[in-house]
Amino acid sequence: MGSCSSTPLEPPHRAPHSPPPRFSHELESASLVNSPDKDSYIASPPAEVPDPEESLESIQVIVRIRPSSQQLSVTIKPPSSIMITPPVRPPSLSPATTKDQAIDYNNFDRVVDDSCNNEEFFNVTLSKVLHRCLSGENVTVMAYGQTGSGKTHTMIGYQEDPGLLSRGISKLFDLLAEKPDVTATITLTVLEIYGEEVHDLLAANSTEPIRLVEQNGTTTPVGVMECAVTSKIAANDAVTTAIAKRTVAATQMNDSSSRSHVIVNFKIVTTTHPAANSTAPPTTKIANLAFVDLAGSERIGKTGTKHNTQTGKEGVQINMGLLSLSKVIKAFNESPNHIPYRDSKLTRVLKQSFGGNAVTLFVSNVTLQPSNYSETLSTLRYSSMASNVVNKVVKNEDEVTKLHRQFAELKILSKRMAKDLQQLSPRRLKHVKKEELKALLSEQQGKKRDSSKSPPRSKSPRVRKNNMPMSPRGTPRSTKNRIDPKKSPKKPTTPLEELDMNAVKVDLQTLNKMNEMNDALDTKSMFSM
């Protein structure tokens, strides 16, 4: 059996078609090329440069096994593979089928067994990514699985062994205390999705449903109450009070079965103040830390409820919401062009956690009881598919911070382009004044005129058709239109001279264009300072 360890989460175990994580924090300047069809250098458009504040990351899937008195035969290959052997079929049943063979799942990020308590589980999962909230990145951790598989124990825990929620709150405030140059404002919201209704558990009248609206690609609840928290104690007390309003009921599989999904969200606004001797402005970033405790899927026959009872209707609604979530996960693997987020309120609220802007930890809770073999396989199958979902993680900044960052990037690009422009001309014409270049051009033309003097060609006399020479026109040719070599340069008479003259003209045009580009860059740099 595997166990918890302090090894960080590693994402190498991915399906072959899953794109690898992409981290790009380097700025690339535009490449400068010489156009063969033009007389000047041009700046070619750079290759597609990814946003330095964004990355592509697959959902991290962690499988946690709940202990039971009767267990299936399971083999854990640390840290990310699990093989489950089905229960033995009675001899009276039909011969064994392919479903009776052991099934191996090997693309998880981590698999832990019953020897891992909540503290160890937190250290190897959420603790590894919680610091990213202070960098402006959204983080979501959710518990998924069959009813009675230990989701609420993983997320909430109990007083002697708190779960991820309580430990995450304490760790968050500890990280902020370690940064004296950072001030933070944290607000709390707690939502419950009961059937297809969304309730605010922080409100005095939590039974009144609230509305969801779509804004800029995200789903936002309207009129939800936000509670400002300033300490870990205040945050834990507010969460405990809100979750106490959650709808629960007793079934044959669980004494306090959750009948709704709960989303606890912390909005974290951090402002980093520069040093006293620095001229840089403060930077403000915004992040959301969400804890999602999903209700478990269940079968009516196993829970001992009936279809016409309230508990039975709740079970049907829970299964419908989880079915919509499984369709979203399946769509990313089969038809990513259309993701059915709008099939339920649950998938609308979790839109950013699946394929959106969030670092998502997907905790898959399973039980090894032989009677739950089919549910365990279903949970592992969808968890394996969830590991192929890729999120687009972006650092969330306020508009002022974003503008300052873009100005800084523009300044870096302008310096790199100016450095490249200095290397364009082999003669370094950039450092030559226009007056000096004109004088040099005139001197060069004079030397070429003296060296290219040649004796005038003798013209043969014009002859009439009767082979008699033509008489002179009576007056000598006028010298009014004759060109004075001292006043005007002589045009080149050989192809080589013409080529040299064109080269000089090209150099002059190149200088003019470089001067214009440098003036533009200096202007941009001045505004970016």
Q: Which residue reads 């004759």 in tokens?
A: 482
Tell me which long-range contacts 206-211 makes (C-beta under 8 A, separation of at least 24): 206/245
Instruction: Name the DSSP letter for residue 463.
Output: B
Residue 422 counted as an annotated binding residue: no
149 is in an annotated binding site: yes
- Element holding 190 (H helix, E strand): strand 182-194
> Please, how many CA atoms are within 13 Å of residue 454, restricted to the half-sphere of its CB?
9
- Helix ranges, 357-492 (H): 373-386, 399-422, 434-451
- The position carrying tokens 């039909």 is 94
Distance CA 359, CA 18 (A): 16
Q: Is 483 exposed, middle or buried (0-12, 13-18, 19+ CB in 10 A)?
A: exposed
150 among annotated binding-site residues: yes
Beta-carbon-side half-sphere exposure of residue 441 (alpha carbons within 13 Å):
17
Residue 147 annotated in ligand binding: yes
> For residues 156 and 236, is the Cβ–Cβ distance under 8 A?
no
Distance CA 203, CA 238 (A): 11
Q: Is 127 annotated as a binding residue?
A: no
- DSSP state for residue 169 in the 8-state scheme: H
101 is in an annotated binding site: no
**Please, are residues 403 and 521 in contact by the beta-carbon 8 Å criterion?**
no
Whether 475 has a binding-site annotation, put simply, is no
Binding site annotation covers 75? no
List Cβ<8 Å contacts ≥24 apart for 130-135. Answer: 130/168, 130/171, 130/172, 130/175, 130/289, 131/175, 132/287, 132/359, 133/172, 133/268, 133/287, 133/289, 134/175, 134/176, 134/179, 134/182, 134/184, 134/268, 134/270, 134/285, 134/287, 135/285, 135/287, 135/395
Phi, psi of 261 (to 5 degrees): -95, 140
Q: Is the separation of the CB atoms in 1 and 67 below 8 Å?
A: no
Q: Which two tokens stand for residue 221?
A: 């609840």
Which residues are documented as binding site? 145-152
In the annotated binding site for ATP, the residues are: 145-152
